[in-house]
Structure 1
Amino acid sequence: MKHWTEPNGILLIQIPIDWQYLNSGLRDYEEKSPYGFQPYEDSIGCFQLSCYPLSELAPSTTKANPDGVRKLSWNESRADNFEFCTHLFYGAYYDQALIGKYIYDVALEGDSRIAEQLAIVNKVLNSVVIVPEGDRKRAANLDKFDRFLGSLAASYDLLYSAINALAFIEIIAITANQIDAHLRLSLVIAKQLEEKTDNIEIRYLFQADGEKGIMERKVFDDALGFQVIDAETFDSLNDLYNLRNRVIHRYIISDIKSRELVTIAGKYLSALEQTRLILRDFEQKQAVVPYGLYGTKSGKTSITDDAIRRLYAKANDKHLLEKYKRSVKDSKS
């Protein structure tokens, strides 16, 4: 199983590793209730989960439970039509009204595979954890951190494809992204170490559409200021930044030759390894303290088959391209 966090940090559930979260990747969905899930491969139905303030949907229940509904129980019903069968699940937990649905084609009614999926749905519904209101921002930030890691992992698929194709401009563009990511995460950890805190300065790790983010040169400045990098590395990264801009923006209108791209790409790959090692050092420093993203409270993640499948699933969610799709099916099943 893998965890899924509601985008506002309201709740967490455990879902199968081979289930895809639909809202963040498909145009027909928005990042709001209902949240949709289905297997990456051979899907025969779709599971949806919605959460709403209990005070809005069931004010009488809220009044009767001023401290929140402490025990989760589900009421089930059906809402079928000539095209689809829909199993409905209603529940209330703490300050949230919950609605679950499992939807499948009417032709599959009575199919043993549907019974298997409904058994999984029940496990998912019973895994719901409502996050205390004061912890929801952190839960949402941890989810953004997970997405950041998935994006970083997926970027290496792009890099290896570019290297194999000798696509030097792509190599330069992708490694610039990765260097920036290494420094951003190093900065987050450095600040946590300095302040001895679990707080995540999420502005380094996530930028929503239309949101003013932290630009690459500012990341260099901050990394120097927090001693993530030294002055020599700072100067080197700025030189690379200028070369990269010349390649990306002025390849046609300047005298730069394609042969020079090979050298620039090589410099970027060297810088990438340098920043990877910087990040590794910060991760190792934090691994022995009781706070932060990699602190001892978070526990050490073992490299198991399931852990690898979870990483593959994150990369799949980032790519949404058949070319890079990895199977996340359980080899034991």
Structure 2
Amino acid sequence: MRQFVDKTGNYMLTIPADWIFKNNIYGTENLTSNCFELYDESIGSFTISCHIITNTKANNSEEFHTSINKNDKQYRIDFKEKFISVDGNDGYSWEAVIGNKFLLCTYIYDNEYKDSIELKTEIEKVLFCLSSIRIIVDTERESVLNSYRFNQFMTSYAASVDLLQRAYDNGSAIEITVLLSNQIDALLRLILILKIQLDNNSNTIDTTLIYQQEDDKPVMEKQVYKMALQNNIINKDLFDKLYTLYDQRNKVIHRYIITDLLTKNVFHTAHQYSLIEKEIGKIVKEYEQKQYKAKIGIYGVPEPPDKPLTSVQQDEFLNALKEKHSHMKINDEITFKKFDTPKDDENIK
């Protein structure tokens, strides 16, 4: 099971390990409702939407009452359920009002699965999801969203590792260069967050460096390098190497055709990036261990940061990667063995 937080920060819920968020895959990112279903061989779709009630009269009527079960210690929402039929398919809808928020959930399934074991299993998952839905109060919205955005950041990093392994397999020097430079930037941003938490003895996650909306002013790589140097995360020698490589990377991306740059030069740049990525990776592990020992921040938890994933966690992780890729062909080729980094740099020398 894994947590999903609506992008508006109005609600959160727990979704089954084998379900996937389908909005991005279907190209419906801007819908007001969020859709979940099995990634493969889906028999139905679960959707949830949250609408703000602006009609004061309706909000105060008996029909629109606060639907929280006060006798339930976990404050589950009391939904009103009804059977529905849509375009020849059957399903259910669940409605509830909490304060000024109207929640609408539906599960529409293929009629051919009526009375089947598969449908019964999916309905059980739906009921679990409904029991897990929580309205996020205003005072907790920022904290919940920041934690969720951090998880999304780490998933995106993992997705880039998957793409990098494909680039290694194919000997694609330009792609390796781009992805490694991207990963180094991400790892330095992660270390900065961990260090801030340690310095402030805080569990607060500052997402300024790891989450960027369309209209946000970006924090560029060279700024991150400077911040890492100023915070004694990297030394001057490594800082200078990063600056030099950044300029070489830009030459690869923007001037490969219009300069005398050779493909073998690109392989050299990729190799240099791979060496620095390993060096930065060691620093990440150091800060993870610092937090684990101090019991502060993201890794200040009972389980050590290097504990292997369980089979259930692997399934959840795999589906999170599929959501990030949102590309059928790429997702069909994901395997966990791809997350073993090359033991040498033969493919990029």
- Do they superpose with TM above 0.5? yes
Structure 1 stretch 116-125 or stretch 58-67: which is displaced more? Answer: 58-67
Provide Cα deviations, 1:8-54, integer angstroms capped at 9, x if missing partner.
33322111111111224432242x53111011000011001122346
- State the partner residue of 1:286: 291
Contact between 1:286 and 1:295, CA under 8 Å: does it hold in 2? yes
- State the partner residue of 1:44: 43
- Three-state SS of the structure 1 residue aligned to 2:203 is coil
Cα distance in structure 1, aligned partners of 2:335 and 2:79 = 33
- Kindly provide the amino acid, as one letter, of the partner of residue 4 in structure 1: F
Contact between 2:66 and 2:99, CA under 8 Å: does it hold in 1? no
Q: State yes or no: 1:226 paired with 2:225.
A: no
Provide Cα deviations, 1:45-71, integer angstroms capped at 9, x if missing partner.
100112234675852169998997745
- State the partner residue of 2:326: 320
- State the partner residue of 1:331: none
Q: State yes or no: 1:205 paired with 2:204.
A: no
Q: State yes or no: 1:9 paired with 2:9.
A: yes
The alpha carbon displacement at 1:236 in A equals 0.8
- State the partner residue of 1:35: 34
- Three-state SS of the structure 2 residue aligned to 1:126 is helix
Contact between 1:291 and 1:297, CA under 8 Å: does it hold in 2? no
Structure 1 stretch 104-113 or stretch 197-206: which is displaced more? Answer: 104-113
Contact between 1:85 and 1:103, CA under 8 Å: does it hold in 2? yes
Q: State yes or no: 1:308 paired with 2:314.
A: yes
- Three-state SS of the structure 2 residue aligned to 1:198 is coil
Provide Cα deviations, 1:155-213, integer angstroms capped at 9, x if missing partner.
11111111111111111001000000000111111111112222222121111234321
In structure 1, list runs of 5 or more residues that go unmatched. 329-333
Cα distance in structure 1, aligned partners of 2:50 and 2:98 = 10
Q: Structure 2 matches for 1:120-131, cutoff 5 A? A: 120-131=125-136
- State the partner residue of 1:184: 189
Contact between 2:90 and 2:108, CA under 8 Å: does it hold in 1? yes
Q: 1:117 to 1:279 in 2, by over 3 A?
A: same
- State the partner residue of 1:115: 120
Q: 1:327 to 1:242 in 2, by over 3 A?
A: closer
Contact between 1:172 and 1:265, CA under 8 Å: does it hold in 2? yes
Contact between 1:91 and 1:97, CA under 8 Å: does it hold in 2? yes
Cα distance in structure 2, aligned partners of 1:9 and 1:56 = 22
Cα distance in structure 2, aligned partners of 1:138 and 1:298 = 22
- Three-state SS of the structure 1 residue aligned to 2:294 is coil
- Three-state SS of the structure 1 residue aligned to 2:23 is coil
Q: 1:254 to 1:28 in 2, by over 3 A?
A: same
Contact between 1:35 and 1:50, CA under 8 Å: does it hold in 2? yes
Cα distance in structure 2, aligned partners of 1:29 and 1:177 = 24
Structure 1 stretch 55-64 or stretch 288-297: which is displaced more? Answer: 55-64
Contact between 2:204 and 2:297, CA under 8 Å: does it hold in 1? yes
- Kindly provide the amino acid, as one letter, of the partner of residue 252 in structure 1: I
- Kindly provide the amino acid, as one letter, of the partner of residue 40 in structure 1: Y
Cα distance in structure 2, aligned partners of 1:135 and 1:246 = 45
Provide Cα deviations, 1:214-271, integer angstroms capped at 9, x if missing partner.
1111111111111111111111100110111111111111122112122111100001
Cα distance in structure 2, aligned partners of 1:157 and 1:6 = 26
Contact between 2:67 and 2:98, CA under 8 Å: does it hold in 1? no
Identity %: 27
Structure 1 stretch 308-317 or stretch 51-60: which is displaced more? Answer: 51-60
The alpha carbon displacement at 1:123 in A equals 1.1
Structure 1 stretch 122-131 or stretch 171-180: which is displaced more? Answer: 122-131
The alpha carbon displacement at 1:119 in A equals 1.8
- Kindly provide the amino acid, as one letter, of the partner of residue 311 in structure 2: D
Cα distance in structure 2, aligned partners of 1:236 and 1:219 = 14
Contact between 2:83 and 2:92, CA under 8 Å: does it hold in 1? yes
Contact between 2:20 and 2:320, CA under 8 Å: does it hold in 1? no
- Three-state SS of the structure 2 residue aligned to 1:212 is coil
Contact between 2:67 and 2:97, CA under 8 Å: does it hold in 1? no
Aligned residues: 327
Select 2:177's aligned residue among 150, 153, 172: 172
The alpha carbon displacement at 1:311 in A equals 1.6
- Three-state SS of the structure 1 residue aligned to 2:293 is coil
Contact between 1:69 and 1:93, CA under 8 Å: does it hold in 2? no
The alpha carbon displacement at 1:132 in A equals 2.9
Q: State yes or no: 1:153 paired with 2:158.
A: yes
- State the partner residue of 2:339: none
Cα distance in structure 2, aligned partners of 1:82 and 1:40 = 22
In structure 2, list runs of 5 or more residues that go unmatched. 337-349
Provide Cα deviations, 1:262-316, integer angstroms capped at 9, x if missing partner.
2111100001111111111111111123432222389867621111222212211
Q: State yes or no: 1:137 paired with 2:142.
A: yes
Q: 1:299 to 1:36 in 2, by over 3 A?
A: farther
